[in-house]
Amino acid sequence: MGPSFGAIQPVEESYRLVWTAVERRCAIAPKWFQKAAAQGHEVAQFVAGVMYATGKGVPQNFIEAHVWINLAASRATGDYQKQFADWRDQVAKSMSPQQVAEARQRARDWKPAGGK
């Protein structure tokens, strides 16, 4: 059994709307979040990470979750940064030290799609 992440507390209306698409299991939501995440959008990176952490729309994968949420936390500011870092730390509690090291390395090596 995975960690308990509690409810998402969105910090803006657009985030709430996109998370609703995931909650309703909108078939295309994971694809679009992953595409936006790959382009470097920090909210999409966070949502992609949460999808992997919770197994909503994608198979549960804590390494992928940590990578995406870590990237989001490193790009975000203010309320977003704290929220994203808190989630990243929660995900890490479900991982071995080797898995956390792998996720951190993958985040360090990550480049946005299109070479931005």
CA dihedral 84, 86, 90, 92 (to 10 degrees): 70
Please report whether residue 72 resides in a domain. Answer: yes
Domain residue limits at 69: 13-109
Q: Taking CA 106 as the corner, what is the angle to CA 22 and CA 75, rounded to the nearest 5 degrees?
A: 65
Give the pLDDT of the chain (116 residues) as one tens digit per residue.
Answer: 444 555 444 445 555 666 676 666 666 777 888 888 899 988 889 888 988 998 877 899 999 999 999 999 999 998 889 989 999 999 999 999 999 999 999 999 999 887 55
Please report whether residue 5 resides in a domain. Answer: no
Please report whether residue 65 resides in a domain. Answer: yes
Contact 112, 42 (CB under 8 A): no
Please report whether residue 6 resides in a domain. Answer: no
Contact 51, 33 (CB under 8 A): yes
Contact 47, 80 (CB under 8 A): no
Split into its structural domains, the chain has a count of: 1
